[in-house]
Amino acid sequence: MKILNSKGEPITLTDREQKVAQVNQQLVNSLGYEIDITTLTTIMKKVTEQKFFQISPADYLPVRVGEGAWSQQLITYRSMFTGDEFEKGVIGMGSANSRLASADAAVDSVAVKVINWAKSIGWTLFDLQMAAKAGNWDIVTAKEKSRKKNWDLGIQAVAFLGLAGDTAVEGLLTLSGLSSTDTTTITEPISGMTTTELKTLCTLLIEKYRNNCARTAFPTHFIIPESDYNGLAAQASADFPIKSTLQVLEEMFQTITMNKGFKVLPLAYADAAYNKNFINVGTGKQCYVLLNYDEETLRMDIPVDYTNTLANSIDNFSFQNVGYGQFTGAKAYRPKEIYYLQY
């Protein structure tokens, strides 16, 4: 095939241009730096990178980083008060008391499994030189970004759904030891509720949470499926279009809990269409969670945050380094302060 200029004349290449074209023409696969080019091809400076669904787990549950490094498990003690009723401490001054009533405390422990994680990346002088000829793509940086993204997305999935294939590592939506899941309060998307249904929901949510935890705490976060959250901007009442459904919910929670910082948060992992494909969930249900954002109630630990080793080589031709870290799943330490609703 001949390449012609604007006058229809064949374009001839110099020796240097021919060598560059031949080297670059070797780059022919679709996933790498081998790309079909001609002398009329320009490689743009800006590289378009792949995007992923990414959120911060710490916005949804407490995440503690750097404590308990290199452990196989983390032990958290829970202290509980024991003793007779308050009235047993009343002293009758007119009678002889041979023994006073007592107050005491008890302790138990919760163990959390620590997972070790490590992945390597490698490259050769051929990789470096060929990538350099392909343009401005830095193969080492690209490999490192890929591994770091693998860590970030993995920690994110574990935080909400647990570790695939290991039921001992739970996520925010797969916690064990909670009271039974409420399947009657929410039976349809909140965004699609009528004014009457929304009013009924507002009267039930806080009371059910308070009753579940023996009135020891108020919730601070209400986590709902993102597909439902995205419809909450619609007006709560067609007859009185003053406030959106989201505003009604937030004001209700903030007023009843006396907490102006109360948050209603969207979560894609809570959508049935998304979580049904994950091994540890498998329910395929819309998940809603009321919780108290407190380290003593719920926590995920990252004893060793993502860390790199220095790149090394035994022959100065092939190079390798390792990225590693440690993490746990989510764990409920006060399970009654976490309330599940599903439909």
pTM of the model: 0.82
Q: Is the pLDDT of residue 61 over 80?
A: yes
Question: Higher model confidence: residue 237 or residue 173?
Answer: 173
Helix (H, G, I), strand (E, B) or coil at 137: coil
Report residue 236 as tokens: 């709560």
Which alpha helices (DSSP H) does 134-194 contain, by range? 139-161
User: What local confidence, expressed as pLDDT, does residue 107 receive?
Assistant: 82
CA distance 289 to 140: 41
- Write out the H or E segment, with its range, that includes residue 196: helix 195-212
Domain definitions of the chain by residue range? 15-42, 115-122+133-342
Q: Are 4 and 11 in contact (CB under 8 A)?
A: yes
Q: DSSP state, 156?
A: H
Average pLDDT over the chain reads 85
**What's the average model confidence in pLDDT over 233-261?**
88
Question: Higher model confidence: residue 89 or residue 282?
Answer: 89
Q: Give the confidence band of 101 by pLDDT, cuts at 50, 70, 90.
A: confident
DSSP string, 116-134: EEEEEEEEEHHHHHHHHHT
User: What local confidence, expressed as pLDDT, does residue 11 receive?
Assistant: 67
Helix (H, G, I), strand (E, B) or coil at 42: coil
**What's the average model confidence in pLDDT over 11-34?**
57
Select from 327, 277, 319 the least CA-distant residue to 303: 327
Question: Higher model confidence: residue 95 or residue 155?
Answer: 155
Q: Where are the beta strands (DSSP E) in 139-282?
A: 221-225, 263-267
Amino acid at 51: K
